[in-house]
Amino acid sequence: MIDAFAEAVRDLALPCSLTLVIPGVAASLSARSNPLAVATSTFAGTAVVGWLRISGQIPSSLTWWSSMGVGILVLVAYGALFARATRPGQRVTAGLVVGASAASIWTPCVGEQLGSILNRAPEDAVGVALPFIAFIAGISIVAIAVALARVGFDPPESVSTFLSRIGVAMGLAIAVLIGSGLYSNVVAQLVTWSL
């Protein structure tokens, strides 16, 4: 598991990893309250839906209509985070939606550890669950670090609002790309640059 986590941290610099890193960071920035709950729920959504995809439990590609639906869900999630979701459940739900959406359209950069996980997943889904979660934790470390920094530094309201607007702008761009069906083209280009 440590090897999978370490591989993910090394892969953070690869462009294809950005398809998970950027939505997580955007969610951590967008959350105007309790960004750590948002970051951890984003991680959880990514891990669960990613695992379901690699184990063959859900389709690995989206149709145009499902892309449109995912884009709308992402837009609503970032909007809820910026609007200062008032109940903890709302923040957690928004984070789960962002993470699940990112995982539903992720094309992984395959290193030795993730390659082994992906090869074993169809026959041993339960056996690869913990190494896969460790990999996603490594990818999610940036979003969690951003959330911890926001909590630790407790910026003034004006700075917090500015950071939230940056996160929402990033989230809006992601939602538009997903909803328009162009996100897969961006992901494909990032994967090409990673090779």
Q: Read out DSSP for 77-145?
A: HHHHHHTT-SSHHHHHHHHHHHHHHHHHT------HHHHHHHHHTTT-HHHHHHHHHHHHHHHHHHHHH
- Tell me: pLDDT of 64 over 60: no
Q: What is the pLDDT, as a whole number, of residue 84?
A: 61
Q: What is the pLDDT, as a whole number, of residue 145?
A: 95
Radius of gyration from C-alpha coordinates of the chain = 16
- The H-or-E segment that residue 156 falls in is none
Average pLDDT over residues 159-185: 80
Global pTM reads: 0.83
Burial status of residue 26 (CB atoms within 10 A of its CB: 0-12, 13-18, 19 or more): buried
Sign of CA dihedral 157, 88, 129, 117: negative
pLDDT tens digit sequence for 9-30: 988 878 778 888 888 998 898 8
pLDDT tens digit sequence for 119-171: 888 888 899 999 999 999 999 999 999 999 988 988 888 888 898 888 888 88
18-32, 38-52, 76-90, 129-143: lowest mean pLDDT where?
76-90
Q: What is the pLDDT, as a whole number, of residue 147?
A: 93
Token output for 151? 């909590």
